[in-house]
Amino acid sequence: MPSVLLITFILQLVIHLVNTVGASTVNAVLWTIFTSLTNSKAAAEQRALKTKFLQLKKELNATSSQDEFAKWAKLRRQHDKVLEEYETSKKGQDSTKATFDKVVSALRWLGTNGLRTILQFWYSKQAMFWIPQGWVPYYAEWLLSFPRAPLGSVSIQAWVLACGAVILLFNDAIIAVCALVMEAASSKKVQPGKGAPMKVPAGKAGDEKSAEKKEL
């Protein structure tokens, strides 16, 4: 069984990733996976109606209402009918997606922040690990063991804060390295090749030679 230290670190990492990516993005990805795995009939019908609507709209725009009025009127009726069906299907799908988002958001909170809160409460009186005696002053020992861990140890609350700080530090370092790499790559593309001979137009070269002859 993994230790509480590892579980807490993984939880903190998952929470950081979710906050970085965004809860709405996570919900959208899970919704796409859910509809593809369950082969949702409503989602398939909505996609078919959308494709048909776009096709009719394209044909309607390509048909003149003056020169081909009968064809245009028929396409217009089909267009309006498909649009109404698509909007009705979309409303039902949006309602289902809203319910799905609520359930996923609740489960995500329970599996991350909720579980972290439970761990902090359950292990609040236990030491995550002990600090060698005399390494830090008394007030530092008290802060590290806050609120209810034994004095001289590191509490789970202090460990959570430490994990969050380390993850944030690594995140900033990765972003900085990526920015430097991209900047170096872009500067190499923009910078001209060193030592490359400069081309002189033929007319300008001839004028310079004639000017030298006149001076002689």
Query: pLDDT tens, 113-157?
Result: 999 999 999 999 999 989 988 888 888 989 999 988 999 899 999
Alpha-carbon gap, residue 82 to 55, rounded angstroms: 11
In the predicted model, what is the mean pLDDT of the chain?
83
Structure tokens at 40: 């949702």
pLDDT per residue over 40-92, tens digit each?
677 778 788 888 888 988 888 888 878 788 888 888 888 888 888 888 888 88
What is the residue range of 138's domain?
125-191
Give the three-state DSSP class for 153. Answer: strand
**CA 148 to chain CA centroid, nearest Å:** 38
- Tracing tokens 């030491």 back to the chain, one arrives at 127
What is the average pLDDT across 21-35? 88
Structural domain includes residue 2? no
CA angle 31, 53, 95 (to 5 degrees): 35
Residue 45 included in any domain: yes
- Residue 1: predicted pLDDT: 42
Both tokens of residue 108? 């995500």
Flag whether 207 is in a domain.
no
100 and 32 in one domain? yes
On whether the CB atoms of residues 156 and 126 are closer than 8 A, the answer is yes
Task: Give the E-state strand segments of the chain in sequence order.
Answer: 129-130, 153-154
203 within some domain: no
Helix (H) or strand (E) holding 164: helix 156-190
Which carries the bigger pLDDT value, residue 35 or residue 177? 177
Residue that terminates a domain, selected from 122, 143, 171: 122
